[in-house]
A and B are shown apart, each in its own frame.
Chain A
Amino acid sequence: MISSRFSKVISWAYLIALYGFIFLPVIVLVLFSFQDGRLPVPPFNGATLKWYGEVFADNRLMAALGNSLMVAIGSSLVACVLGFCAAYGLARFVLPASRLQRGILIAPMTVSYLIIALGLLSTFNWIGISLSLWTVGIGHVVINLPLCFAIIYASMGDHQKNIERAARDLGAKEWQVMTQVTAPMLMPSILAAFFLSVTFSWDEFIIAFLLSRFDVTLPVEIWSLLRSGLNPKTNAIGSVVFLFSIALLLVLELLVFRRTAKK
Chain B
Amino acid sequence: MAAASLEDQENRKAWGFVTPALLWTICFFVIPFIVMTAISLATRTGREIVMAWNFDNYITFFEKAHLLKGLFVSLEITFTVTIISILLAYPLAWIIAERVPQKWQRMALILAVLPFWTSYVVRSYSWLLVLAKNGVINNTLIWIGVIAEPLEMASTRSATIIGFVHFFVMLLTLTIYANLVQMPPNYRRAAADLGANGFQVFWHIVLPLTLPGIMVGAFLTFVLCIGDYITPQILGGNNELALPQIIMLQLGRRADFPMAATLSIVLMGAVTLAYIACARWLKMERT
Q: Which residues of A are in contact with B by a Cβ distance under 8 Å?
A: 8, 11-12, 14-15, 18-19, 21-26, 28-29, 32, 39-43, 82-83, 85-86, 88-90, 92-95, 101, 104-105, 107-108, 110-116, 118-120, 122-123, 125-126, 138-139, 141-142, 145, 149, 174, 199, 202-206, 210, 219, 222-223, 226, 230, 234-235, 238, 241-242, 245-246, 249, 253
C-alpha gap A233/B14 in the complex (Å): 52
Q: Is B10 an interface residue (CB 8 A)?
A: yes
Known: A95-B14, A105-B22, A115-B267. A42 touches B121 (CB 8 A): no
Q: Is B2 an interface residue (CB 8 A)?
A: no
**Nearest Cβ in chain A — how far from B212, in angstroms?**
18
Known: A21-B166, A115-B264, A230-B134. A43 touches B36 (CB 8 A): no
- Taking a contact as CB atoms closer than 8 A, the residue among A12, A104, A122, A230 that contacts B35 in the complex is A122
Interchain pairs with CB closer than 8 A, number: 233
Is A241 within 8 A of B29, CB to CB? Answer: no
Interface set, chain B 115-131, CB cutoff 8 A to A: 115, 117-123, 125-130
Q: Is B3 an interface residue (CB 8 A)?
A: no
**Nearest Cβ in chain A — how far from B68, in angstroms?**
19
Is A15 within 8 A of B122, CB to CB? Answer: no
Known: A95-B11, A104-B22, A122-B32. A89 touches B16 (CB 8 A): yes
Of B16, B118, B128, most A-chain CB atoms within 10 Å: B118
Is A15 within 8 A of B95, CB to CB? Answer: yes
Contacts of B226 in A (CB 8 A): 112
Known: A42-B139, A145-B24. A93 touches B14 (CB 8 A): yes
- Taking a contact as CB atoms closer than 8 A, the residue among B17, B22, B25, B134 that contacts A41 in the complex is B134
Is A29 within 8 A of B119, CB to CB? Answer: no
Q: Which residues of B are in contact with A by a Cβ distance under 8 Å?
A: 10-11, 13-18, 20-22, 24-26, 28-33, 35-36, 39, 88, 91-92, 95-96, 99-100, 110-112, 114-115, 117-123, 125-130, 132, 134-136, 139-140, 143, 166, 169-170, 223-224, 226-230, 234, 244, 247, 251, 257, 260-261, 264, 267-268, 271, 275
Is B122 within 8 A of A29, CB to CB? Answer: yes
**Nearest Cβ in chain B — how far from A24, in angstroms?**
6
C-alpha gap A39/B136 in the complex (Å): 11
Of A18, A141, A249, most B-chain CB atoms within 10 Å: A18
Given contacts A107-B30, A111-B268, 6 further A-B contacts (CB under 8 A): A83-B21, A86-B17, A89-B15, A122-B257, A141-B24, A141-B28
Contacts of B228 in A (CB 8 A): 112, 114
Is B91 within 8 A of A14, CB to CB? Answer: yes
Is A115 within 8 A of B21, CB to CB? Answer: no
Nearest 6 CB-CB pairings of A with B: A112-B227, A89-B17, A119-B32, A93-B14, A25-B126, A203-B119
**Nearest Cβ in chain A — how far from B121, in angstroms?**
5
C-alpha gap A28/B275 in the complex (Å): 37
Is B129 within 8 A of A32, CB to CB? Answer: yes
Contacts of B21 in A (CB 8 A): 82-83, 85-86, 105, 145, 149
Contacts of B257 in A (CB 8 A): 122, 125
CB nearest to B32 among chain A residues: A119
Of B88, B114, B129, B234, most A-chain CB atoms within 10 Å: B129
C-alpha gap A113/B267 in the complex (Å): 12
C-alpha gap A17/B96 in the complex (Å): 13
CB nearest to A257 among chain B residues: B106
C-alpha gap A139/B130 in the complex (Å): 33
C-alpha gap A107/B26 in the complex (Å): 10
CB nearest to A226 among chain B residues: B125
Contacts of A210 in B (CB 8 A): 251
C-alpha gap A253/B114 in the complex (Å): 13
CB nearest to B34 among chain A residues: A119
Contacts of A112 in B (CB 8 A): 223-224, 226-228, 244, 267-268, 271
Contacts of B39 in A (CB 8 A): 122
CB-defined A-B contacts under 8 Å, sample of 29: A14-B92, A14-B95, A22-B169, A25-B129, A26-B114, A42-B139, A42-B140, A82-B24, A85-B17, A85-B20, A86-B22, A93-B17, A95-B14, A105-B21, A107-B30, A108-B29, A111-B33, A115-B33, A118-B247, A118-B264, A122-B35, A123-B31, A142-B29, A145-B21, A204-B119, A222-B119, A230-B132, A238-B118, A249-B117
Contacts of B88 in A (CB 8 A): 18
Known: A226-B125, A241-B119. A24 touches B130 (CB 8 A): yes
Is A8 within 8 A of B99, CB to CB? Answer: yes
Is B229 within 8 A of A206, CB to CB? Answer: yes
Is B25 within 8 A of A93, CB to CB? Answer: no
C-alpha gap A114/B120 in the complex (Å): 13
Contacts of A88 in B (CB 8 A): 17
Is A18 within 8 A of B125, CB to CB? Answer: no
CB nearest to A148 among chain B residues: B21
Is A41 within 8 A of B31, CB to CB? Answer: no
Is B121 within 8 A of A222, CB to CB? Answer: yes
